[in-house]
Structure 1
Amino acid sequence: MSGTGDDFKWFGEGFDGFPKRLPEDVVEYIIFIINSKLSAIQTRERLQGFQRALATLEKKFLKEYIWQRESIRMDLVCDNRRWFLRGTTNYGDSVADEWLIVYFLRELSQEFPDAWIRIYDTDGEFLLIEAANAIPSWLTPEVAENRVWINNHHLCVIPVSDHDNPKSLAIEEALSIINDVPTKLQHLPKIEQEAFYRLKSFPSAISENQHHATLPIPRKLAYILRSNPSYIAPAVEAFYLRDPISLRLLQPEKSRTQLNFPPESFVSVSVRFTKVLYAQLLGQQWVPPGPYGEALAKLISKESGVPSVSREKAEIGIKVTAGFEMLAQHKLYADKKATREIQLLLEDIEAGDEALPSDDEIARWPKREDNEGWLDIDFVEFEKELAGKGAGSTTRGFGDKNAQDNLRKMVERFNKFIEDEDAGLDGAKGLGLDPMDIDNDSEAPPVGWEDPEDSDDSDDNEDDDEQADKEFEEYERTFEKFLTLSSAEKSALLDDARELAQVEEAEKEEDEEIKKLSEMMEAELFSHGALNLGAKKNSGVKPVMGDGEGRGKAKLEEFLEEVDDNDVEYLDEDYNLAENMLQAFKGQAGMAGPAGNLMSMMGICFPPDADTDEEFKNKNKDPVNNK
């Protein structure tokens, strides 16, 4: 699937290119018409009818839908004299977009029974991943490619031939099987039920994925969003993925460019998001720079003229405004369709061809404020769901209903696997493990039974267990207390934790700098032999450790007289260290270096460099009086 298969050919073996892999967060879908009675022209017309039917579904269900990044689209393609439809969609962080595409294609397959549809994403056959606990043991990722198809509202699988080695199919092989022996395909209800489980909430899930909020935004921006509400998606993404260049564009004094959407002349309008987009904005911690910070302060203090603006809504309005500014100015988004259209609208406004809406006109626009309960997570209910005890609960649940249903299904699948009586230490019966998955390379000797009379170890283990129990009980009490706090108190605690983490990070960085400096000094000393304690003491260089020739020499001779025969090894190390330090000092050639700096810090000053005492005397004679 996503990796190289057994039939991959390397260089010299008929290399025909590396396996293709979809980018992250991209789903791809292909539609074939398998009908031997149709000619090539008729097949093409049938595919065009499929495209028209898709457009009808979009008009019916997607009037107000906002795609996270890209919408569903299919192009008519002819390859190897075969006509088919192919499309890709980048769904970004919105998995709901991916399942919406699955829903549309499945519905269209019922209207076109001769259409065979394959859909996959970066992870490969994600429909099989969704039905992982129901698939047969032979349907592994290595053989699943081109074997899973949607036809006539059902999920069909091409089985592995008994006489062939299990492997994935080429697309032409799969189409040949579908055309020649369609009865060979298997319809497995259990796999289908699990794979299409998320489609149970459609089509109502389409509208439930949207979220409306009334926000203060500049009048010019209100006009742009009124023209096309879907512009909100690329603008939120531009803000969410902001970089230093984007932030600079928000400050005219730095970028020396005029703002397209200056934060002024605010009006209160209803803005439509997807739940993912709204959550992305709400979760971003951001301090608005320059004029955006000033505008936020005015909105909160009611100086902007927009009544009834909460701090939260004011912050989101400022984030939306900044996102549109980044989208309009950043060269990174210049080629986006939304950016080009926004620039045309701005040019019409500047030219006077379009007038901005008045206060009376904006007042007549419909306003909608959706409940934000789906953002609230009751952690007590969440823990119940994880424990598999939330199915019969009469409370409203821990948050978003669809998320709760998906989590409940996941826990149900996990519990079903755990309770499988046929499951052993190696997993459920029939699934089996690949021999390479078993770690049998350990050479550790077998552990024998412990001596029951060895009570010391037992007592230590009991003490450790008791201490661990106490710590866990303390953690539970603290966690329960945290859950009872208000949002403001939780936010304050999180701010304190964040500040403490920053302090610890700064200390860690300081320790790293000291460590690097020490390593550099050690390397320098090694290079001059200052740390080589294994040298011979009779190397011919006398150590000098005083602040003058006579004083250093006298101290060293006095030390040598006091050392007895038992201290020879200790003397060698000190002597050699002094010798090596002197050589390191000489290597500095009179300039600053680690040896001199280190001894200065210890209060020791080296005398002028001289190879012998006589040379030192000669260098310090008075050139006039020859003294």
Structure 2
Amino acid sequence: MCNLAQDNFKWFGEGFSGFPKRLPEDCIEYIIHIINPTLSPNQTRAHLLSLQKASSLLQKKLLKDYIWQRDPFALSLVHEEGQWLLRGCTNYGDSIADEWLIVYLLRELSMQFSDAWIRVYDTDGEFLLIEAANALPKWLNPEVAENRVWIHDAKLLVLPLSNPSKPQPLTLKESLAAISGSPSTFQHLRAVEAEAFRRLMPYPGAITQNQHYATVPIPRKLAAILHASPRYVAPAVESFYLRDPIALRSLQPKDAKRLRFPPEDFVNVSVCFTRILFAQLRSQEWAPPGIWSEALASLSEAAGNGGAVEKVEIGIKLAAGFEMLIKDNKNADKQAVREIELLLEDIESGNEALPTDQEIAMWSAREDDEKWLDINFEDFEKELAGKGANSSDTPKSGEANEEQNRGFGDKAAQENLRKMVERFEAFLNDDDAGIEGAEGLDDMDFDNDDPEDDDAVDDSDEEEEIEFDEAEFARMMREMMGMPSEDDKVTLIDEARALARAEELGSDEEEELNDGDEIRKVMERIEAELNESGALDLDITPRKIVASKGAVKGKGKRRAVELVQEYEGESEDDGEVDIDFNLAKNLLESLKGQGGLAGPAGNLMGLMGVQFPPDEDDRVTVVNDRVER
């Protein structure tokens, strides 16, 4: 059963009421209250016990040999906050059919007990309202829906807002007080009820339709176990379906005699599955190891055709699933495992004899068609188009029955798909729904559980429009990239050029332009700005190369001066100075890696107004501090 977190403890001081309670995944919880002012607490308790007994009788009547995916439907009598009530929680795993079967049982019980008020919810919350989302009134949104939805006298009732102008969430205590004080205030929204209970229409017939019988070869010992209780198939299939390397080790013990369900002495038995269990077992690709592989090969050879081989594979998988179920220590506390262990002890001790072939032949045999597993994509497309499987052509009389049974799945699946298509078409035809999404939102359409959200909503009302300052964004990006701003760059270029001209002039002209202190201050400022931007460490301009290699004589010195002049000449023509060559090179390589597609480097340069031509060659080299192809 589900393990629910308690929410009535205090660990961090007075006033702490516990962490919010959350259901585990794939769980449904249900609570039944008896609201009758004329009953004393003891009488209420006795009434709940009668309801619990009625639940058991209803299950015996409708669920004979029903196989639950994980946990069964069960009601426990509990005493909470001074009240007696019935509570239950079921882990339905992958079987949504189990969840809706529980809803059906609860609705049936509500018809038998007119003073019973039933709440049911799952991991997603009020899933009945989710099912009826297309018919909900505007005010009934997730912010206020909790504790407002009840099943009473086979009806779905909703407690309306006490103050529509200020919608607020509702506590369970407040909801129960409303039931006790003024039950007439609850609304019976028929459109919502029809949508919420739509999946219950096939019941109780859907209970047997969910089963699937298949005749498969299994070990005689396993046949005895399943004959004692068919429901053991569910945990065994799940053990095989969720197998891991540790569980698989149990299939290959050092001594084969240690196997509890050895792959030997096979007999053909009609095994009852649910459709989802059979599909899980059938869909698994598995290469059995050791003696399991030998058994599969031997049985397959005897079976002959393909359909029989598939049944052999299912039988081997089922036996392996039971072996892993029993051997895995994490399953030791499961009720099904304890019961299987007791049956095995009786068989292995000789207290219980294995069934003979004559006895097995007298067991009920049933073989169901597997066409529900097949998908006819032509019919599937017709259903998507809103047409029935037989709408396009009229079948011939001899083919009528066969054509009637064709489809991509069972009737429930077709009906669900048809409903989905209808809702999607309704959404597309909704003139009020635009590109921006739903219109006409009110305050309760925003998640404002956090008080800070209220301030955010108020601020959003005051702010009409947020402007984008492109120049400011470019300035911030240059700072992040270690590049000087436009103003600083212009100043730096002007001062650098002035210093260069001063160096080329004679000593007399140099004194006329600036004295030695001013030149030194300019040089220190340039060096500081270059260090701040990181350009000084990464710059590989000709001037820096010459300076780093010390004094150069003769032709080498003249060539170095020519390189510097050539570099500065290009900079003057372009009106820009290459502050960080490595940065530009990295950006080019990033753009090259995009292959002409959109990417971070291209987007960044585009925002700064820089456009690059397409890359025509993969080879990029640096010669004399220039990028050449």
**TM norm structure 2:** 0.67
Q: Distance in 1 between matches of 2:441 and 2:274?
A: 40
1:127 aligned residue: 128
Query: How far apart in 2 are the matches of 1:308 and 1:134?
Result: 49
Are 2:79 and 1:78 equivalent residues in the alignment? yes
Deviation at 1:53, TM superposition (A): 1.1
User: Is 1:409 matched with 2:407?
Assistant: no
Distance 1:568 1:315, change over 3 A: farther
1:216–1:309: 8 Å Cα contact kept in structure 2? no
Which string of whole-angstrom CA distances, capped at 9 and with x for unpartnered residues, describes residues 182-207 of structure 1? 11111100000000000000000000
The match for 2:387 is 389
CA pair 65-563 structure 1, distance change in 2 beyond 3 A: farther
Instruction: Give aligned pairs, total.
Output: 462
Task: Give the match's secondary structure for 1:270.
Answer: strand
Offset of residue 292 of structure 1: 1.0
Separation (CA, whole Å) in 2 of partners of 1:257 and 1:532: 77
Separation in 1, partners of 2:556, 2:142: 79
Which residue identity is paired with 2:421? V
Specify the alignment match of 2:511 in structure 1: none
CA-based RMSD: 3.6
- Alignment deviations for residues 32-65 of structure 1 (CA, whole Å, 9 cap, x no partner): 0111111111111111111111111111111121
- Give the Cα separation in 2 of the matches to 1:561 and 1:355: 107
Verify the 8 A CA contact 2:156 2:189 in the aligned structure 1: yes
Between 151-160 and 294-303, report the one with greater CA deviation. Answer: 294-303
Give matches, 1:75-474, under 5 Å.
Answer: 75-162=76-163, 165-253=166-254, 258-302=258-302, 310-390=308-388, 393=391, 395=403, 396-425=406-435, 434=445
Query: Matched residues in 1 for 2:409 and 2:377: separation?
Result: 9
| Whole-angstrom distance in 2 between the partners of 1:418 and 1:538 | 71
**SS in structure 1 at match of 2:284:** coil
3-state SS of paired residue (1:142):
helix
Q: How far is the alpha carbon of 1:435 from its aligned partner?
A: 6.4
> Deviation of residue 167 (structure 1)?
2.2
SS in 2 for 1:78: strand
C-alpha contact (below 8 Å) 2:546/2:560 kept by paired residues: no
In 2, Cα distance between equivalents of 1:55 and 1:569:
99
Task: Tell me, in whole angstroms, the C-alpha distance in 2 between the residues paired with 1:213 and 1:45.
Answer: 44
Change in 2 beyond 3 A, CA 1:373/1:347: same
- Partners of 1:242 and 1:70 in 2: how far apart? 19
CA contact (8 A) 1:264 1:295 kept: yes
- Contact 2:256–2:262, Cα closer than 8 Å, also in 1: no
Deviation at 1:424, TM superposition (A): 4.8
Amino acid of the structure 1 residue aligned with 2:296: L
Check 1:563–1:251 CA distance in 2 against 1; reply closer, same or farther (3 A cut).
farther
Report the 3-state secondary structure (helix = DSSP H, G, I; strand = E; otherwise coil) of the residue aligned with 1:260: coil
Distance 2:160 2:202 in 1: 30
Quick one: which amino acid aligns to residue 426 of structure 2? K
2:379–2:389: 8 Å Cα contact kept in structure 1? no
CA 1:311 to 1:141, structure 2 compared with 1: closer, same or farther past 3 Å? Answer: same
Rounded to whole Å, the distance in 2 between the matches of 1:20 and 1:82 is 20
Structure 2: which 5+ residue stretches go unaligned? 1-9, 395-402, 448-456, 471-537, 567-629
Closer, same or farther in 2 for the Cα pair 1:349/1:99, shift >3 Å?
A: same
Q: Look up the SS of the partner of 2:133 in the other structure.
A: coil
The separation in 2 between residues aligned to 1:307 and 1:392, in whole angstroms, is 32
CA deviation map 1:4-45 (0-9, x unaligned)? xxxxx9978943211100000000000001111111111111
Residues 231 and 532 (structure 1 numbering): CA distance in 2 closer, same or farther, change over 3 Å?
farther
Q: 1:245 to 1:111 in 2, by over 3 A?
A: same
Identity of aligned residues (%): 59
SS across alignment from 2:134? coil
Q: How does 1:27-38 map to 2 (within 5 A)?
A: 27-38=28-39
Sort the Cα spacing of 1:537 and 1:315 in 2 relative to 1 into closer, same or farther, 3 A: farther
Output the TM-score relative to the length of structure 1.
Answer: 0.67
2:506 aligned residue: none
3-state SS of 1:252 partner: coil
**SS of 2:193 mapped into structure 1:** helix
Tell me how far apart the structure 2 counterparts of residues 88 and 569 of structure 1 sit (CA, whole Å): 84
